[in-house]
Amino acid sequence: MYCRGAAAVILTYDVTNWQSLAELENRFLSLTDTANTDCIFAIVGNKADLTDALAQEADTESERRDEPQPVVTCPTPPATPLQHKQVSKEDAIALYGRVLRYKGLEEKACLPAETMCFETSAKTGYNVDVLFETLFDLVLPSILNKRSEGESATVDLEAPIEVKRTKAGCCA
């Protein structure tokens, strides 16, 4: 029931921890079995701020507009020392291929791995907007198509439900 009816699944690991990628595949991939057959999968490496100096800076438009930009005369060292990245983008791309094979999907018929593997930082917001905008752009046409075909992915809470009663008066 974890991913029942999901149009998109985000599989997330820690870029500084190889074990997190292995556990993602071993423990959590089977949870996607109840997702829609046309489900989109994104492989996301989080904590990029720990391994990439660009990801250490806040990545929101509002922060860039509101704060005055200081004049930089010399490069500023990163806020925290960078850690060694244990999971490369190639490892994530390989996992994406294994996810597609697990789901019985043809790699040629699916979205390219390079566009569905992301490195983000939940702390600074680095690439988070890009991830969700990409998924939104990919999922929305599918949802609209299903709606036009009469398939409903939602439950109408106002629609009356017929309740069958047994001889004892209880619900069946």
The predicted structure's pLDDT at residue 62: 44
Rounded CA separation 52/119 (Å)? 10
Kind plus residue range of the DSSP H or E element containing 132: helix 128-148
Q: Strand pairing of 117-119 and 40-46?
A: parallel
The predicted structure's pLDDT at residue 79: 57
**Can you read off the two tokens belonging to residue 66?**
């509101």
DSSP secondary structure letters along 13-54: EETT-HHHHHHIIIIIGGGGGGS-TT-EEEEEEE-GGGT-GG
Sequence-ordered list of residues with C-beta below 8 angstroms from that of 49, at least 6 positions apart, any chain: 55, 56, 80, 121, 123, 124, 126
The predicted structure's pLDDT at residue 120: 94
Rounded CA separation 96/44 (Å)? 10
pTM: 0.70
11: phi then psi, degrees, rounded to nearest 5 = -100, 115
Coil, strand or helix at 143: helix
Decide: 46 and 15 in contact? Cβ < 8 Å: yes
The predicted structure's pLDDT at residue 80: 63
In terms of Cα–Cα distance, which of 29, 9, 31, 33 is closest to 21?
29
Rounded CA separation 98/130 (Å)? 23
The predicted structure's pLDDT at residue 67: 57
Residue ranges of the chain whose pLDDT lies below 50: 62
